Amino acid sequence: MNFVALRMLTGDRAKYFGLVFAIAFCTFLLENQTTIFANIMKRTASQILDVTDAEVWVMDPQTEYWEQTKALKDTDLTRVRSVPGVQWAVRLFKGNPVARTLDGKFAVSFLIGIDDATLAGAPRKMLLGSWERLGEPDSIIVDKSGLHPAVP
């Protein structure tokens, strides 16, 4: 019986190679789409996962996704700090301010604030500057186009 099935499968070479190609291509697409989905999910949570100091995140119950931020009230923060077993709790600031570049153009920037006492949420690897600069007071430089925050 297996011989008849094998003969039917390989009897027409064009159909056989078409079938093998279709199965291989479908398998490739399935793996490709799975990888894309996994990476999208990883990127969605990357900002949360980058803060390794926090084991638990507390967000407003109406929060649907990371980009939709609503600041917790002082009473909510106090309630979180009063939970037994919680050693510390701080707010995470996230915003999209418009900044003026050194050449005078405006650009939307991505700003994540960190706790100044514990530096919780600070990046583990800094491309420019150093951790010590975070403790310094803000400095201002002046050029022909006006005031700009100093770049480390």
What would the pLDDT profile of 59-92 be if each residue is shown by its tens digit?
Answer: 877 877 766 667 778 898 899 989 998 888 888 7
More confident residue, 40 or 138: 40
Q: Is the pLDDT of residue 147 over 60?
A: no
| pLDDT number for residue 22 | 92
Q: Within a 10 A sphere around the Cβ of 114, how many other Cβ atoms? A: 17
Tokens 């700003």 found at: 111
Report if pTM > 0.75. no
Taking all residues of the chain, what is their mean pLDDT, rounded to a whole number? 78
d(CA 131, CA 4) in angstroms, rounded, equals: 73
The residue type found at 45 is A
From residue 17, give the alpha-carbon distance in Å to each of 9, 29, 44, 98, 102.
Answer: 10, 18, 40, 57, 61
d(CA 37, CA 31) in angstroms, rounded, equals: 10
| pLDDT number for residue 152 | 45
d(CA 21, CA 28) in angstroms, rounded, equals: 10
| pLDDT number for residue 24 | 93
